[in-house]
Amino acid sequence: MTLQVQDLNFSYENGFSLKDISFSADAGQLCAFFGPNACGKTTLIKCLCDIFKMRSGSILFNDVDLTKLKSTGVSKILSYVPQIHEASFSYSVMEMVLMGRNPYVNHFSTPRKSDLNKSENALATLNLQHLRNESFTEISGGQQKLVLIARALAQETPIMLLDEPTAHLDFKNKLLVLKGIKKLVKEQGLIVLMSLHDPNEVLLVADQVIMMNNGKIISQGTTEQILTVENIKAIYDVDAEIWRSGTKKVFVPSMNLETGDFT
């Protein structure tokens, strides 16, 4: 399974635009859209899942152009986890996950036993079954993110799009969410595309990195190829250093040890 995006262009009325976006991703691969705030990551994700209508270009999955499909057809190939989700009603966790089955349920019918089973399986995959009867609005932010990922998993799409899934989470919950996403890629063989702006989170989970700035792809390749101090400086204008511990590495801002000032 391969996703190919070719020459995607999009423009807002205020002038910001995505320009000639092209990339590909394969099954079992986690691809991170990486870059500063307002560089176009969220806009690109919304174009890919048909929330925003792109001006030109193609989105091909196994040689099928998704821009030619109806929304129900797209929703069976792409699932979307937004950065922020405000529940209109106090749904239970199970009800939230069951919404992922909407593309397969007739508007005038109730979910089938198979839909319930697939939703239960999605909860179990992310170790959330103990929350099934809890109110979605009353669980923690990290748990809410995992429930939304379970909803996307219940949708049974080969491609999952996540917009800054670690936004507004504490250190532990960020790690739990990233671990859950990585588990899905490995065990389910999904194509996962997600936006991030912390290079250390990208280092933890990404196989491929698409670095963006000002609505353009600046560079793309493996995590090792793209995450360099030179590239961090280019898009954030911040001097950074790489600290290593065994095979692991992290980016830290350069600091004058005598004055305590960042350089």
Residue-wise pLDDT for 166-214, tens only, equals 988 889 889 989 999 999 999 999 999 999 989 999 999 999 999 999 9
Q: Any long-range contacts for 248-252 (C-beta under 8 Å, 24+ apart)? A: 249/203, 250/200, 250/203, 251/199, 251/200, 251/203, 251/227
Residue 192 pairs in a beta bridge with: 30, 160
Residue range of the domain that includes 23: 2-227
The answer to whether residues 140 and 248 belong to one domain is no
Could you tell me if residue 141 is inside a domain?
A: yes
Could you tell me if residue 133 is inside a domain?
A: yes
The answer to whether residues 136 and 58 belong to one domain is yes
The answer to whether residues 245 and 200 belong to one domain is no
Could you tell me if residue 216 is inside a domain?
A: yes
The answer to whether residues 181 and 255 belong to one domain is no
- pLDDT at position 257: 54
Cα–Cα distance for residue pair 262/155, rounded to 1 Å: 46
The answer to whether residues 128 and 243 belong to one domain is no
What pTM was estimated for this model as a whole?
Answer: 0.89
Residue 225 belongs to what H/E stretch? helix 223-226
Could you tell me if residue 49 is inside a domain?
A: yes
Give the count of domains, the chain. 2
The answer to whether residues 223 and 257 belong to one domain is no
Compute the mean pLDDT over every residue in the chain, rounded to the nearest whole number.
Answer: 91
Residue-wise pLDDT for 221-238, tens only, equals 999 999 999 999 999 998
Could you tell me if residue 247 is inside a domain?
A: yes
The answer to whether residues 105 and 206 belong to one domain is yes
CA distances from 208 to 31, 133, 192, 195, 225 (A): 5, 37, 10, 12, 9
Residue 216 belongs to what H/E stretch? strand 216-222
The answer to whether residues 160 and 222 belong to one domain is yes
